[in-house]
Amino acid sequence: MKEFHIDISIQFFALEELPEADRSLIEQAKMMTSTSYSPYSHFKVGAALLLEDGQVFTGSNQENAVFPVGLCAERTAFFAASANAPKVAPATIAIAACNAEGFLAKPVTPCGSCRQALLEAETRFGRPIRVLLYGTEGVYVVPSMRALLPLTFDGSELV
């Protein structure tokens, strides 16, 4: 038997410690929670995706009475970016979420489907997407989507 370890490094910052560009992106993600359509979960998620050329695309979770039809905030933002600026690489995504008590204290983390969708863009453009996960206690800064989804299925063996 052999064993191997996969290490990921996550930085935990106080909001004030982050550079202005990151704080601005987080602010946009927080603002986007107000556009969430979430009458079923009452869980409002906002995302702001900064592209390499400075454009920002935003999104919020959009639910439906047929539950699987709904979409997370991260993919709403990412698909808008990909549809409108298909040749520009994503650079950083900020995510924030609130429930009935307000913004979450612990940083919100993206679901597996959103990780998979964003990782494909990271692979396609050959550059990491930084991830800023907001919580009122502080912000996780993750260096790449791959760090959030090790041993991913990347389709490279599809023939």
Q: How far is the CB of 97 from ligand THU (least distance, A)?
A: 7
Q: Rule CB under 6 A: which of 24-63 touch ligand THU?
A: 38, 41, 43, 45, 61, 63
* Separation CA 63–CA 44 (nearest Å): 10
Nearest to 78 by CA among 69, 68, 86, 66: 86
User: Is residue 93 a contact partner of residue 79, using CB atoms and an 8 Å limit?
Assistant: no
Does 73 help bind ligand THU (rule: CB under 6 A)?
A: yes
Please identify which of the residues 52, 74, 122, 137 carries the catalytic annotation.
Answer: 74
Catalytic residue at 20? no
Q: Which amino acid is at 10?
A: I
The DSSP-derived string for 58-93 is EEE-B--SSGGG-B-HHHHHHHHHHHH-TTS-EEEE
Q: Which of residues 98-127 bind ligand THU (CB under 6 A)?
A: 108, 110-111, 114
Among 13, 35, 56, 70, binds ligand THU (CB under 6 A): 70
Residues in the interface with ligand THU (CB under 6 A) total: 14
Contact residues toward ligand THU (CB under 6 A) are 38, 41, 43, 45, 61, 63, 70, 72-74, 108, 110-111, 114
